[in-house]
Homo-oligomer: A and B are copies of this chain.
Amino acid sequence: VKPGEAPGERPTFSLPVRVYYQDTDAGGVVYHAAYVNFLERARTEWLRKLGFDHRALVGTFGIVFMVHAMEVRYLKPAFMDDTLVIELALRRLGASRLELEQRVLREATTLVEAQVKIACVSIGSFKPVRIPDPIRRKIEE
């Protein structure tokens, strides 16, 4: 079963994103790194919805979430003017890492699939640290 395709499986979070010129390239389609930006926007909005924007992460907890590894599969192109939906589902919550499944859809069509591993690191040192309990609890809910 592919991510998100099981009947009744629902993403944890989803964010609509519009495609602008700045996201396209001379091939006439969305540039492959632009999706990486879209994926980040969805992750940031998901954390914000849980109550943890960047200022809280840095100011209250002294941490940032950094991408540790990502795997991206490009299935179909997106185009200028498209309205995309960026989905996010939590796959694993470790001591200092999160694994997320993300998808980019145009209506019912999956354009891009991604697995993203996020590390919770201390600001300044960039060393992995335990995900703070208040954040962990909110994610687990």
Q: Which residues of A contact B (CB under 8 A)?
A: 18, 20-22, 24-29, 31-33, 36-37, 40-41, 44-45, 48, 53-55, 64, 66-74, 77, 79-81, 123, 126
Contact = CB atoms under 8 A, between A and B. Distances in A.
A33 B37 contact: yes
A67 B71 contact: no
A70 B116 CA distance: 12
Question: How many copies of this chain are found per oligomer?
Answer: 4
Nearest to A28: B26
Contacts of A73: 68-69
Contacts of A31: 21-22
Nearest to A126: B77
Nearest to A77: B126
| Chain A interface helix/strand/loop/mixed | mixed
Contacts of A22: 25, 31, 33, 37, 40-41
Contacts of A45: 18
Contacts of A33: 22, 33, 36-37, 40
A55 to B, nearest CB: 6
A64 B126 CA distance: 23
